Amino acid sequence: MSKSLARENRILSALLEVSKVLNSSFDLEKNLSRTMRVLGDFLEMERGSVFLLDQHTKELKIVAAHGLTKEQISRGKYKIGEGIVGRVLEKGSPLVIPNVGEEPLFLNKTGSRFQKSGISFLCVPIKFKGESIGVLSADRLFSDTDITIDEDIRVLEIIASIIAQYAILWKHYKETEREKENLKLQLKGKYSLPNIIGTSDRMQEVFESVHRVSDSKATVILYGESGTGKELIAKAIHYMSPRAKESFVKFNCASIPEGLLESELFGHEKGAFTGAINARKGRFELAHGGTILLDEVGDLPINLQPKILRVLQEREFERVGGEKTIKVDVRLIAATSRNLEEFVAKGKFREDLFYRLNVVPIFMPALRERREDIPLLVEYFLKKFNIENNKSVSLTGEALRILADYNWPGNVRELENTMERLVVMSGKDSIKTSDLPINLKLPSPDEVLQKESLKTGIEDIEKSSILDALERTGWVQAKAARMLGITPRQIGYKMKKYGLISSPGMP
């Protein structure tokens, strides 16, 4: 094979290799570095470098280079028109410095060429749609006298055009990625309600439901442990609804003796029962035009449930001791910390009422199920109580970590009370671990159990290995101790602890 044919072959292989590398992924720096290595491996072009124009700073920066250190790479910055690289970008046409050592324009910024003579410097623009977006450069040693510079430039230009396509595709790819990230960020925390904290997925679901149902008159039921924010959410639904200007009436079905419940809810006429001196409106009438929250709805006595069902279906009822049917326009929100389905199964709650209430269920997560929100809540309450108490108390990182790790059985209510107490009681500017209530620092019952079982497990093992050693050594304590790698004194202590004594007849 003639020398030039061999070179043709290597050029084709190099081009093939470059297109393979650049098709592999969008890892810009890695793939361009690999491309520069191909220049060296196949075409005897050393220190290949790719410069791309930063659209913001209008500077050319090395994105990838072969045979340069990181430090040298970071030094390789040019302004448009500066040095050879800057000129090539500006003019948009290739430049060759046949002998680097004799060229004053050659800035050698990276400081990579100690011995400048004997090297040609080749530099071609990277162009897309006629516009220069960067520069590709490489060194060529003089010794190969039979290679024309023109041929080298032609090859570099082909590679530069492949790089141009790649760089543009990469840029689009990056932009799409960034847009996707932005969208995600916008979506996270997309739903917000005034004074209700929660960016966790679980709370975002709750907020989304609130936004979805608030316009309608649909009955909503809120499930969740005490202190999870059921009442807060019920109010949010009301104040975001077209009924916002009308009243929000809250009634806790568990808070009043059964005998008084009916008249509290539906009112009574004068003389309906002993003590009913005047007629009185019930909660449903007071909520007319607005919203009523029936809290702990599971505690409604079964005999009262049909009357609630009728209000829900017909929006009408009679006062206690009254004949006149009263019509109301009320939106009902129910809340419960109980498992209503279980109540239905046990016959404590009417199935028809359950289905009437369960139109839009919203499940409030326990605080321990959305721990990521704890720091936000801590910050929120810290600010709130600092303002209320005219203080500027902060929290150490360690104290925050303890709050974030605690189980919060009383949920947000417990956290809120804890923060209020801490701010009020704090004499200093900073709340430390030692200022926290003791129960926050104690391990939870689960953890205690775990540790206990670990301890007894270890003790069992210890006891049986001591017993084993004693039996093997015929209960000679000193021998057994040696076998176990402990002192005779220690074995005596352990034997006492585990109640180990040799059986009668043994030495």
Residues near Mg ion, by CB under 5 A: 231
Q: Which residue is nearest to ligand ADP (CB)?
A: 229
CB of 338 to ligand ADP, least distance (A): 12
- Cβ distance to ligand ADP smaller for residue 172 or 188: 188
Looking at the DSSP bridge assignments, the partners of residue 211 are: none
Closest CA to 253 of 241, 262, 245: 262
Q: Which partner from the list Mg ion, ligand ADP, none does 464 bind, CB cut-off 5 to 8 Å by kind?
A: none
- Cβ distance to ligand ADP smaller for residue 73 or 366: 366
CB of 231 to Mg ion, least distance (A): 4
- Cβ distance to Mg ion smaller for residue 48 or 229: 229
68 contact partners, CB below 8 Å, separation of at least 6: 47, 49, 62, 76, 110, 112
Q: List phi, psi (to 5°) of 130.
A: 80, -5
CB of 412 to ligand ADP, least distance (A): 4
Q: Which partner from the list Mg ion, ligand ADP, none does 228 bind, CB cut-off 5 to 8 Å by kind?
A: ligand ADP
Q: Which amino acid is residue 260, in one-letter code?
A: L
- Cβ distance to Mg ion smaller for residue 231 or 352: 231
Other CB atoms within 10 A of residue 495 CB: 20
Closest CA to 99 of 45, 141, 60: 141
- Cβ distance to ligand ADP smaller for residue 153 or 254: 254
CB of 306 to ligand ADP, least distance (A): 26
To which H or E segment does residue 38 belong?
helix 28-43
The interface with ligand ADP within residues 197-216 (CB under 6 A) comprises 197-198
CB of 299 to ligand ADP, least distance (A): 14
* SS3 annotation, 326-386: EECCCEEEEEECCCHHHHHHCCCCCHHHHHHHCCEEEECCCHHHCHHHHHHHHHHHHHHHH
CB of 372 to ligand ADP, least distance (A): 13
CB of 197 to ligand ADP, least distance (A): 4
Q: Which partner from the list ligand ADP, Mg ion, none does 238 bind, CB cut-off 5 to 8 Å by kind?
A: none
Q: Which stretch binds ligand ADP (CB under 6 A): 77-85, 196-204, 351-359, 385-393?
A: 196-204
Q: Which partner from the list ligand ADP, Mg ion, none does 412 bind, CB cut-off 5 to 8 Å by kind?
A: ligand ADP
Q: List phi, psi (to 5°) of 360.
A: -120, 95
The interface with ligand ADP within residues 410-439 (CB under 6 A) comprises 412-413, 416
Q: Say how far apart CA 158 and CA 431 lie, in whole Å.
A: 66
In the block, which residue shows the tokens 């919060």? 408
Binding mask 215-234 for ligand ADP (x = CB under 6 A): ---------x-xxxxxxx--
CB of 413 to ligand ADP, least distance (A): 4
In this structure, are strands 220-223 and 325-327 parallel, antiparallel, or unpaired?
A: unpaired
Residue 129: CA atoms inside 13 Å, Cβ hemisphere, count?
2
In this structure, are strands 131-141 and 119-128 parallel, antiparallel, or unpaired?
A: antiparallel
Q: Which partner from the list Mg ion, ligand ADP, none does 435 bind, CB cut-off 5 to 8 Å by kind?
A: none
| Binding site residues, ligand ADP, CB under 6 A | 196-198, 224, 226-232, 412-413, 416
